[in-house]
Amino acid sequence: MLQQAVELRSEALRRRRQHQYRAVELNDLYLIVGRLQGILAYAALDLGDPHAAMIHADAAWTCAERAGDNELRAWTRGTQSLISRFEGDYDRATAYVLDGLPYGTRGTSRLRLLCGYAQCHANLGDSQGTNRALDRAQDQRDHLTTADSIGGIYEFSEAKQRYYAGSSLIWLDGGPDAQRAAQEAAQAIAMWEHEPPESRSLDDEALAHVYQATAHLQLRQFDVATAAIRPILDLPPERQISWIRKRLGRFAGMLRQEPYDKSREAVDLYDEIQSFAA
């Protein structure tokens, strides 16, 4: 898919440079290139290269501006926020969300921005702000009146929304937030498992297992956490994207802290995770 995106982008840019389009097609041409840049941004981030991902996302924003397409504007701001969160720059990530929200007037792009906002609040330790943003996203899903123009990474399914909720709440102090995180991640996994193969987001589904396991570890439910993380440790190397390695690192770090640091089972699980990441 990545090679196909590169080839399609090259063809679209060639048509733009050589003026091989009608005047009424120019905005559509920019929209096509912008969406292809978005695919490349996601691919670069999955490979652990946020710098390259941001270059592609910035190009997608330029195309969205030239096409005058608010849906792509909102999606791109959400992606720039995602990349900033990957790098741990939550102030910048928040700024991208707030800039993108006014454009989120169609489909699920606004929901994705609100869930990104929740992730920012969570990483800054704000439980109330996190839950408020997640609740706003759910309320707006219940009142959606328009559909996304295209699917794939450009739609924000309910499973993805619940996955985002789980990935947000695990950064807080446990307790009710961890309970909600475990529930949201479990619901995301169940939704994906019942979707047809072409609709499943396997990488996100795998990450939801990590978030579910992390929440159970916060709740001091070691056996449940171990069962949740097991499918991830059995993944083949080609499925071990940068996000999985990054989040597994945090899970492993928790095993070296109380109350797990003296547990033989926790030490064994830690060693297995280290072998997975090697």
Same domain? 19 vs 117? yes
* Gap between the Cα atoms of 139 and 4, Å rounded: 37
CA-closest candidate to residue 157, choices 148, 149, 145: 148
Helix residue ranges, H only, the chain:
2-17, 26-46, 50-67, 70-86, 90-100, 109-123, 127-142, 158-169, 176-193, 202-218, 222-233, 242-255, 264-277
A 10 A CB-CB count for 92 gives 16
Residue ending a domain, among 135, 156, 177, is 156
Q: What pLDDT, on a 0 to 100 scale, did the predictor assign at position 12?
A: 58
Q: Domain holding 91: CATH number?
A: 1.25.40.10
**Residuewise pLDDT in 10s, the chain (278 residues):** 556 655 655 665 565 565 655 555 678 889 999 999 999 999 999 889 999 999 999 999 999 999 999 999 999 999 999 999 999 999 999 999 999 999 999 999 999 999 999 999 999 999 999 999 999 999 999 999 999 999 999 999 999 999 999 999 999 999 999 999 999 999 999 999 998 887 788 899 999 999 999 999 999 999 999 999 999 999 988 888 888 989 999 999 999 999 999 999 999 999 999 988 76
Question: Could you list the residue range(s) of the whole structural domain that residue 275 is in?
Answer: 158-278
Q: Structural domain tally of the chain?
A: 2
Residue ending a domain, among 140, 156, 172, is 156
Same domain? 103 vs 222? no
Same domain? 167 vs 178? yes
Q: What pLDDT, on a 0 to 100 scale, did the predictor assign at position 1?
A: 56
User: Is the dihedral angle over the CA atoms 139, 141, 144, 148 positive or is it negative?
Assistant: positive
Same domain? 189 vs 132? no
Same domain? 143 vs 208? no
Q: Domain holding 276: CATH number?
A: 1.25.40
Same domain? 125 vs 170? no
195-203: long-range contacts, CB 8 A cutoff, minimum separation 24: 195/159, 201/157, 201/159, 201/160, 202/239, 203/46, 203/239, 203/241, 203/243, 203/244
> pTM for the whole thing?
0.88
Alpha carbons within 13 A on the beta-carbon side of 202: 11
Three-state SS letters, 198-260: HHCCHHHHHHHHHHHHHHHHHCCCHHHHHHHHHHHHCCCHHHCCHHHHHHHHHHHHHHCCCCC
Same domain? 145 vs 180? no
Same domain? 138 vs 171? no
What phi and psi values does residue 262 have, to the nearest 5 degrees?
A: -105, 5
Tokens of 18: 């050589």
Residue ending a domain, among 130, 156, 182, is 156
Same domain? 150 vs 164? no
Same domain? 215 vs 110? no
Same domain? 63 vs 135? yes
Same domain? 237 vs 258? yes
* Gap between the Cα atoms of 113 and 123, Å rounded: 15
